[in-house]
Amino acid sequence: MGKSSAEISTATDGAEIVEFRTDHTYIYTLTIQDIPPIKLTGTWSVSGDQLILKMNPNQEDPKYNPKSYVDQPTNTFSVNGNKLTLKAIVPDNNPLKKNMKVEKLEENFVRL
């Protein structure tokens, strides 16, 4: 977008929900206006301040199946009250970086 950063607000652009389950699985749902919802599933683990999300190889919609040759970002996380902040550096071979020129991600979630 020609800017050093871009802020996307789910309040106006859609909804992003991540459900972290006690059995170390997660469900990620992204809803954006005029686009069918995207649902991703996988497992999660924590090591120190790193949150590792590993997508299941077979997603509900096969076009979202992870590619074995693509590295996923590793998230550094912090929790403050009911707010979860995830920060990640996007790996060089990830399409976010290659195609969309996204180098860093920061997401803020509020516990419902």
pLDDT digits (tens, 9 = 90+) for 98-112: 777 888 888 888 887
Task: Specify the CATH architecture of the domain 10-110.
Answer: Beta Barrel (2.40)
Amino acid present at 112: L
Q: Is 96 helix (H, G, I), strand (E, B) or coil?
A: helix
* Residues 31-86: tens digit of each pLDDT: 887 788 889 999 999 999 999 989 999 999 999 888 887 888 888 999 999 999 99
Q: What is the pTM of this model?
A: 0.75
Report the C-alpha gap between 72 and 38 in whole angstroms: 17
Sketch the domain layout of the chain as residue ranges.
10-110
